[in-house]
Amino acid sequence: MKNHECHWPGCTIDVPAKHWGCNEHWALLPNRLKVTILAAYVPGQDLETNPSPAYVSAANALHSWINQEGDSV
């Protein structure tokens, strides 16, 4: 199984490619964003490194939230 680093800016923890991020940072995200990215995940996209447009949109929303709120959590 392929791995990658957590998507939280500056985090270098290695996680399975099918995970957005490490447990610590995943726990900081609001549930509404977790639900959105989980719903957009297409099984196997981590193997093909070709995420769906819905997943990319959800990931962008996560990063926007982190940029606005992440420093205060």
At 31 the pLDDT is 95
Rounded to 5°, angle at Cα 72 from 71 and 73: 95
The DSSP-derived string for 21-46 is S-HHHHHHS-HHHHHHHHHH--TTHH
> Given a cut of 60, is residue 1 above it in pLDDT?
no
Question: Per-residue pLDDT tens for 44-64?
Answer: 887 777 888 999 999 999 999
State residue 24's pLDDT score: 96
Give dist(CA 63, CA 44) in Å, integer: 22
Instruction: Find out whether 7 and 22 touch, Cβ atoms under 8 Å.
Output: no
Q: How many domains does the chain have?
A: 1
Domain range enclosing 54: 3-72
- At 3-33, the pLDDT tens digits run 788 999 999 999 987 788 999 999 999 999 9
